Structure 1
Amino acid sequence: MAPATQPLTETTAIRRADGESRSLAASLPRLMLEARRIAANVIHGVHGRRRAGAGESFWQYRRFVSGEPSQNVDWRRSARDDHLYVREQEWEAAHTLWLWPDRSASMAFASRGVRDSKLERSLIVTFALAELLVAGGERVGVPGLMNPTSNGNVIDKIAQAMLHDSAPRPSLPSSFVPTALAEIVVLSDFWSPIAEIRGLIAGLSASGAHGTLVQVVDPAEETFPYSGRVEFVEPESGEVITTGRAESWAQDYVARVAAHRDAIRAETGKLGWLFTTHTTSRSAAELLLYLHAGLMASKAGSPGVKVGRSA
C-alpha cells in the first residue's frame, strides 16, 4: 500500500490511469536506452552444446564419409590436405523464454528519493534481458502480449506491444500453457495472496516448464519508514486505511513480509523454481546478471542459481 492524501474515487482512478499511461509512453525511450546500455555491459555469448548440428558457430572439421552429398565438402580446407573435410557447425538449441513484467497499478509506486518506480525497473530489466537472450540466439515472448521471437529489435517490439495494449493489467500473468522446456521469468511485487501465487506456479509448471519469480519492491516496502498520521491507499482496489501512529505498525509489517516471502519460497522450492527479491534502490545490472546466469545454467543443464536475495 502507498501513502495517500485522499480517497481514490473512480474518477480519480481513471484520471490517474490515463496519466500513468501517458507518463509511461513518455518514459519508454529512457527505459529502452537504459536497458540497452545495461545489456551492452553484460558479457554474454551463445552457449553451444558441443556437438554437431544446426547452428552458426564453427565447431570442427571432420573427414568426409563416402556416400555423403558432395556439397558438404569444405573445398578450401580440403585443398590444404590429401583428404576431403566437412565443416561442422556447433549445435545451438534456441530456447523459448517468456518474460512477464507486472504492469498493474501497484507497480507505479516509488518512494521519495528513488529513481525508478517498481514498474520502470521491471521494464528496464525485461527489455535488457530480452535483448541479451535474443543476441544469444534465444526466442523471447511476453505472455498475452507478444509471441516468441528472435527478432533483433525485440525491445522495440515489446515496447510497441505494451503501448498498444488496452487489456486489463493483472497483478499476475494470465493462464497460458508454455512448452515443456520453456523458461518463464515473472517480475512483480508479488503482494497477491499466496493462494493466487500458488495457483500461478502450479499452472505454469504443469507442462514441465521452469520458472523464476522476482519480487521487485521499493525500499519503503522493505522497512516501512512511516510515522505519525498516514493515509495508505490500496492501488488495486482504492481502499484507504488511516493510522495515527504508523510507526507502531512497522514490526508487524516486517514480520508479515518475511512470512509472505517464506510462503512463496516454499511453493517455488517444491517445483524446483527460483525465487529472489530485488529492491529498486539496487543496481538493475546486478539483477540482470543474476537472471541471465540462471537462465543460461538452466539451458546448459547445470544446476540453477540458488534461491536467495538478488543484488
Structure 2
Amino acid sequence: MTSTLSPETLQQIKRLDLRARMVVRGFLQGLHNSPLQGFSVQFSDHRLYNRGDDPKLIDWLVYAKTDKHYIKRFEAETNLNGFLLMDLSKSMGFRQGTSMTKFEYSTCLAAALTYLMSLQKDPVGLLTFDDKLRAILPARSRRGHLGDVLAALSGMTPEGTTELPRCLVQVAAMLKQHSLVMLFSDLLGDPEETLAALARLRHGGHDVIVFHVLDDAEVRFPYEGPVEFEDPESGELVTVDATGFRAEYLDQIAAFRETYSQGCSALRIDYVPLDTSMPFDRALTEYLQQRQARF
C-alpha cells in the first residue's frame, strides 16, 4: 500500500506549504507510535545529554520514559540559526518515470524541516547555489518568514553546473554565528574536495546535516540492454550495455555513498542517504535516529 507521505502521494498536492504541513503532522504522529516517542514528547524543551554537560540538568522523568538521558534546554540553546543550502544544479532535475525529481524531493523535505523548526521558533534562512551562491534569505523566526522561505523554494528551477566545494567554502566564510547548515544535494563531483569543504564548515563551529538525495533509478539502476545516458550538466552522451554494467555500477554507487558516510562520520557531520522513492516520514525518522546514535 502506498504511504500517505510517499512522494507519489504528495506530488498530487501542488502547494508546498500544504505538503510541508502534511509531512510534519504525519511525522509527529508517527513518532508517538515509535521508539522515538520520548523525543517527540519533549521535542522543543529537551536535548540528548552530551559528554561534558552538567549531570544535574538530566531530566530523570524523561529518562524513566525513554531510558535515555535528556537535559532541559535553555532558551539560548533553542534559538539556533538554521540554513537550508539547496543545490540548484541541472543534475538535481533528473527524473526517472513518474517520481519526483531530486530537486522536488529536496524542496519538499526542506519545506517540512522549515515548518518543523518554525514550530520551535528557531530562525531559518535559505541559501541556494549552482556554480556560485545565488538566493540568500537571512535566518529569521518572525511571523511570515516561513511563507517567505516556502515561496522562494517554490519558485526555483535547477539548471546550470555545480561548484559545491567552492560554494561550501563561501558559506563557511559568510556565516559568523554558530548555525545549523542543512545541505540538500546529489553530491555529484569529487568527494574528497567536497569533504574538505565540509570540514571548513565544521571547523567554523557549525553543525552540518548532509541530505544526499539521489533518484531511485540512480540507486537501483533498473535498466536492461543498450541504454544511452546523457550527462545533465555537460550534455555528453554515453551508450552502455546496462545489463553487463549493472553490477559494476551498483558497486560504484555503494562505494560513493560509503565514502561520504565515512567522511562525514569522521567530521561529526550527520549523513542521511535518501532516494526519491523514500516516504518523507521515514526520511525524517532516519535522520533523528542518526542524531540520537551520534550522541
1:259 positional shift: 1.4
Q: Distance in 1 between matches of 2:251 and 2:210?
A: 21
Alpha-carbon spacing, 1:204–1:168, altered in 2? closer, same or farther (3 Å) = farther
> Could you tell me how far 1:277 is from its partner in structure 2?
0.8
Of 8, 17, 26, the match for 1:41:
26
Post-superposition shift, 1:198? 1.6
Q: Choose which of 70, 79, 100 in structure 1 pairs with 2:85.
A: 100
Q: 1:117 aligns with which of 82, 97, 101?
A: 101
Change (3 A) 1:226 1:32: same
- Structure 1 residue aligned with 2:185: 188
Question: Structure 2 vs 1, CA of residues 266 and 138 (structure 1 numbering), >3 Å: closer, same or farther?
Answer: same
Aligned to 2:123: 139
Q: Quote how far apart the aligned CAs of 1:282 are.
A: 1.5
CA contact (8 A) 2:117 2:123 kept: yes
Asked whether the 8 Å contact 1:226–1:246 carries over to 2, the reply is: yes
Q: The residue matched to 1:305 in structure 2 has which SS?
A: helix
Which of 114, 129, 142 aligns to 1:151? It is 142
Of residues 193, 196, 200 in structure 2, which corresponds to 1:199? 196
Alignment correspondent of 1:218: 215
1:214–1:278 CA contact under 8 A, matched in 2: yes
Return the alpha-carbon distance in structure 2 between the equivalents of residues 109 and 167 of structure 1.
Answer: 11
Establish whether residue 247 from structure 1 lines up as the match of residue 239 from structure 2. no
Report percent identity of matched pairs: 25
For structure 1, which segment, 267-276 or 281-290, has the greater mean C-alpha deviation from structure 2 after superposition?
281-290
8 Å contact 2:161–2:233 — kept in the other structure?
A: no
What is the distance in 1 between the residues matched to 2:23 and 2:118? 15
Distance 1:218 1:171, change over 3 A: farther
| 2:152 equivalent to 1:161 | yes
**Matched residue type, 1:284:** F
Secondary structure of residue in 1 paired with 2:147? helix
- Counterpart residue type for residue 223 of structure 1: R
The count of aligned residue pairs is 231
User: Offset at 1:169?
Assistant: 6.5
Distance of aligned partners of 1:264 and 1:142 in 2 relative to their CA distance in 1, 3 Å threshold: same
Partner of 1:267: 263
Residue by residue, what CA displacement relative to the aligned partner does 1:45-89 show, whole Å, maximum 9, x if unpaired? Answer: 52258xxxxxxxxxxxxxxxxxxxxxxxxxxxxxxxxxxxxxxxx
Distance 1:213 1:164, change over 3 A: closer
Secondary structure of the equivalent of 2:204?
Answer: coil
CA RMSD of aligned residues (A): 2.9
In structure 1, list runs of 5 or more residues that go unmatched. Answer: 1-26, 50-89, 295-302
- Summarize deviations over 1:124-172 as a string: whole Å, max 9, x none: 0101101110110211111252110113434421243353799966363
Residue identity matched to 1:125:
L
Match of 1:126 in 2: 110
What is the CA deviation profile of residues 240-281 of structure 1, one whole-angstrom value per residue up to 9, with x for unaligned ones?
A: 1112x2211111111111111221122212211111211211
CA deviations over 1:95-145 (Å, ceiling 9, x no partner) = 11111222221111221242x211111000101101110110211111252
Q: TM-score, normalization: structure 2?
A: 0.69
| 1:190 CA drift (Å) | 1.5
Q: What secondary structure is seen at the aligned counterpart in 2 of 1:191? A: coil
TM-aligned CA distance change 1:167 to 1:110, over 3 Å: closer
Out of 168, 176, 196, the residue aligned to residue 171 of structure 2 is: 176
- Structure 2 counterpart of 1:278, from 254, 268, 274: 274
Match of 1:39, SS state, is helix
TM-score with structure 1 setting the length: 0.66
Separation in structure 2 between the aligned mates of residue 159 and residue 171 of structure 1, nearest angstrom: 24
Question: Which is greater in Rg?
Answer: 1
